Amino acid sequence: MRIVLLGPPGGGKGTQAAILKQHWQIPHVSTGELLRAACRDKTPLGQKVQAVMDAGELVSDDLMLDLLEQRFADDDVDNGFILDGYPRNLAQADALDKLLSRIGQPLDAALLIEVDEQNILDRIEQRAREEGRSDDTAEVVRNRLQVYAEHTAPVADHYAADGRLIRVLGEGEIDTITQRILAAIRAADWMQ
């Protein structure tokens, strides 16, 4: 099973990815962790990433795709993966589809975890208190939600256009959301 997780910041993607990883016994591929690991391990790609980040620039789509292709070549993704943090826009979604097709691992589904803005603000406020994250202020979160609405939300339409989008309400208890996800995937005809 090869799935991309979509949803707003603070929507629970990371939490659900950790649970689904255990349930399906497939890796959670987080682009943020890929970038950090490449820099930490000082791989050739990691050195390029570090230079870009040190210059205060965003990692290019090409460089991110190279990191993803390298990760998808690992044996542990033979039975699938849960991709989190990518794609963030339509160009990246198209590029990811091409990469996965070229390496013979086409995406099965995009799972959109839908959460309303107030619920997200409440979650982020709680996370900021518990984890002391400085990037979890209401102003920063509202900005991230605006960027998400403009650039990332349309990615769901990309996957809906060819019938690969699964929508799940991401509000309520964590276990309840997980059960909604599993039920929605079981109900998807093409996932049988």
Mean pLDDT, range 171-183, rounded to an integer: 96
44 or 190: whose pLDDT is higher? 44
> DSSP characters for 33-77?
HHHHHHHHHT-HHHHHHHHHHHTTPPPPHHHHHHHHHHHHTSGGG
Q: Average pLDDT, whole number, for the chain?
A: 89
Per-residue pLDDT at 112: 96
Mean pLDDT, range 114-137, rounded to an integer: 80
Task: Provide the number of structural domains found in the chain.
Answer: 1
Range of the domain at 108: 2-191
85 or 24: whose pLDDT is higher? 24
Q: Is residue 98 among the annotated active site residues?
A: no
Choosing from 48, 127, 142, 167, the catalytic residue is: 127
Contacts of 18 (CB under 8 A, 6+ apart): 28
Model confidence at 160, in pLDDT bands (50, 70, 90)? Answer: very high
Model confidence at 2, in pLDDT bands (50, 70, 90)? Answer: very high
Task: Assign residue 117 the CATH number of its domain.
Answer: 3.40.50.300
Longest Cα separation, the chain? 47
Choosing from 21, 88, 142, 167, the catalytic residue is: 88
Q: Is residue 88 among the annotated active site residues?
A: yes
Choosing from 2, 13, 71, 180, the catalytic residue is: 13
pLDDT tens digits, 29-67: 998 888 888 889 998 888 888 888 788 777 889 999 999
Model confidence at 190, in pLDDT bands (50, 70, 90)? Answer: low
pLDDT > 90 fraction of the chain, expressed in percent and rounded: 55
Choosing from 71, 123, 144, 164, the catalytic residue is: 144
pLDDT of 175 higher than 90 = yes
3-state secondary structure of 115: coil
2 or 190: whose pLDDT is higher? 2
Per-residue pLDDT at 20: 96
Q: Is residue 144 among the annotated active site residues?
A: yes
- Rounded to two decimals, the pTM is 0.86
Give the C-alpha distances (Å, rounded to integers) separating 83 from 7, 46, 96, 129, 139.
12, 19, 11, 28, 27
